[in-house]
Amino acid sequence: MTFDIEKLEQIPIDEVIKALGGDYKRHSHGKQFNMMCCNKAFHQHGDKKPSLTVWVDKNICKCHVCGIKGNPISVAKGMLGDFKEACKWLHETFSIPYANGCTPRPVAPKIVKSTPKPIEYLRFNKTKKFTKVKIGDWIDKYSELSKVQKLKMVYTFIYRFSLSTDRSKLLEYYKGRQIDKNPHLSKIGYLSVEDITLLLNKLSIFPTEDLIEFGIINDAKHKFPLSWKSPKNVGVIPSFSIYTDLIEGMMLRPIDDTNKWFKGKESRLSIPSILKPLPFGFGYKILQNTCDIYITEGHIDALSLPENYCFIASPGVNALEEEQLGLLGGKNIKLVFDQDEAGLKNALGYFEVSFLDQRMTILKSQKDDLEGMKNILESQGVDIKVTEHTGLKDRLLKAGAKSVEVIRWDKDLGKDVNDLLVNGNLSKVFKI
């Protein structure tokens, strides 16, 4: 039998999210609303400030934190790991009939083992020189550039403009989080509402269709056509290219309540289908260096570390692309994630266990508990399904990292690195 893909894609996306473990914040909702994400392993406190936006008309969604997105099938695939598995789950959960009525199609009793495609790790070339690029030198040749180069030009133009604005409010914001005089602050730009108006004028040197394609302005069909797509009054946290000072994407961090819709959430400005950016901190300097590399959850934690530390500010706990991990070959890595279940799960890996109507997660480090539970359930004839999720530690080692340490500390000292800083406990965990 074949699944009715069209029907599966018409299942209301919010019901799919609910069935996968997400939830509504409020019950009355319109054409666009936020839900608590179903991808619980990657959210703290059950995603109480809902991160997942639902667009009812298009029947799609997007989580701004963990990146799960798309229509019912892609969301189910994101959670269950496999297209067929996703269709089967939707088909059963929502009782959607097969495509061609009930006529069974003979299925060959053959188990096809899928061989996962080997990861093509990116590697850092130590002998390659670092180049500084002047945008002015390229403006006249813009039309001859490749799409990737065009995107870098436009993003770099925005980023460099954001460094030239009045950044006093931004610095005040960081000061409020005890981040003061950190030399890396000079790399973070700022765009106020007024700056953005000015910037949009300046951006008119680039073709409008490119600005739309690169996610900077709304398309012509939008309720607010051709206007700035992202939040305003934001810190601009750059993603640099490895071998040049060009920008491949950025995170925009609202520093006040101007943006009702974005509610203080960081917003990503990048087009991964054109170019997958590396997180802030990941680049030539730390790769050329022999320093230990600290991977944090977000740039606030990275800027809270002792200022001479090498860091990578991963925007979400699973924001690093598998092939990008290869760049860290030969490096000593320290993972400094939040001292909560989500942080530990992502760092160490975990098992997702389902039986009867239950669904739970067990940390890799508690493998014995899993074995015990499995024995009991199996002896009672209960079917138990275990899915293994590899943690970042093991994935980094597989990619060639020399060593990976998961840094843990007493939660009472602070739940994350910024907390440690604010509470005056940084030196209890890190050598300063």
Instruction: Note whether 390 and 320 are within 8 A (CB).
Output: no
CB 30 within 8 A of CB 24: no
Nearer to Zn ion, 39 or 418 (CB): 39
Written as one string, the DSSP assignment of 333-376 is EEEE--SSHHHHHHHHEEEEEEETTEEEEEEGGGHHHHHHHHHH
Q: Which two tokens stand for residue 425?
A: 């406990």
Least separation in angstroms between residue 67's CB and Zn ion is 7
CA nearest neighbour of 182 among 312, 333, 314, 300: 300
Q: Which is nearer to Zn ion, 65 or 302 (CB)?
A: 65
**Interface region with Zn ion, contact rule CB under 5 A, candidates 20-28, 64-72, 151-159, 196-204:** 64-72
DSSP H or E stretch at residue 52: strand 52-55
Considering the complex, what minimum distance in angstroms separates the CB of residue 333 from Zn ion? 24
- Residue 159: which of 140, 181, 186 has the closest Cα? 186
319 binds Zn ion (CB under 5 A): no
At residue 297, the 3 state secondary structure works out as: strand
Tell me which of 41, 63, 319, 347 binds Zn ion, using CB under 5 A.
63
39 binds Zn ion (CB under 5 A): yes
**Cβ pair 405, 333 in contact under 8 A:** yes
Is 246 near Zn ion (CB under 5 A)? no
Q: Is the Cβ of residue 19 or residue 413 nearer to Zn ion in the bound state?
A: 19
Whether the CB-CB separation of 52 and 37 falls below 8 Å is answered with: yes
The answer to the question of residue 37 lying near Zn ion (CB under 5 A) is yes
Distance in Å, CB of 57 to Zn ion, minimum: 21
Binding residue (CB under 5 A) for Zn ion from 16, 66, 76, 251: 66
Residue 327 in contact with Zn ion, rule: CB under 5 A? no
Closest CB to Zn ion among 71 and 304? 71
The arrangement of strands across the sheet holding 293-297 comes to 310-314, 293-297, 332-336, 403-406
Counting residues that bind Zn ion (by CB under 5 A) gives 5
Kindly state the smallest distance separating residue 79's Cβ from Zn ion, in Å: 10
The CB-of-66 to Zn ion minimum distance in angstroms stands at: 3
Q: Which is nearer to Zn ion, 66 or 251 (CB)?
A: 66
| Residues found near Zn ion in the complex (CB under 5 A) | 37, 39, 63, 65-66
